[in-house]
Structure 1
């Protein structure tokens, strides 16, 4: 069974890009809770209808709703994964720890991506996402005609990307997710990563860190 890894960090810190790359490098499943929620909204599912007004104002959905969406995915992907941006709250972390314990599994590493707020605002203004394959990146990453470099779909700005929404999400992160990061840091289960470097450099550093943690047997 592969490792269970978590990437945490403020909005636009690169969790999606780095999470996918890490999962591909290690042959693991990858989950972006944000992409999962946006897909539910676009498909008009009951969870999507409940989440849509919350996402539109840049908020986070309730712990209960998030758990109901995450649990089926966890059931299907037990062989190792990378979670992007989950858990966002202490309650979600309690849920994840409980679920893993009930399935004789554990969290192997937690990586915190660190980027100054002013840099994050610049990234938000340039960020795009493909609605077909959920690739996300910067406008400069797009192929010809504004196409997704992964599947060729028509990429564009995310529905929840605006300065107002970013500031709201950043405040939510500071209030609710920072305590999760502090929890893992307090037990020595957290590795902080400077995510201001070029994407390839950050990816290489994260991969080496995770490989070392797994080799050493350190867990969160």
Structure 2
């Protein structure tokens, strides 16, 4: 039986990775800021990290925050994992971090590079945006009477449970470096996804496409968030919406 540490193990992805690994009979430790016995904020460190890593063979690093601190957290985790003799570090990343110039994406790319240079056995999986994140964004955009979405931006949302299954599979295998990206089954425009969301939630809103400006918008519009050649996900956005909002 393998002992695995999942950082961010109470988050949207981390808790599903944890559930999957435990269902397969593995000992899984959950590290997060508030979950005992391994309550550690990787951004500031603490003695609890060494205890969490003791005897661990594999770390699945899901902890991340768009509010900053990912690079510092990764540096502390890598150093402690090396001291603990961890053999495999698995990292979840995002499709397009090398193409779309968001600050959060730059941090994710920097973490990838730290892991590659760490001297640990490592695996990195990049995926497209989760259905859950898209629903959160669309929920915010749907508050006004007219739903404004960026014009011409395509997306390729993927089911988080499928990503969790893939991460669990990678965690139980040998270090593989950068593995093929994982994208959802369909490339869709944001306005079509917005209309699907409105239909599923029973909201009546006009949808208007608004052209934006800047490098980030241009990169996203050019397909920077997509991996159409790796459309390996199975669950469509409508299927996810049906399960979430229609029971």
TM-score (norm. length: structure 2): 0.39
Q: Whose radius of gyration is greater, 1 or 2?
A: 2
Greater helix share, 1 or 2? 1
| TM superposition score normalised by structure 1 | 0.42
Higher relative contact order (CA 8 A, sep 6+): 1
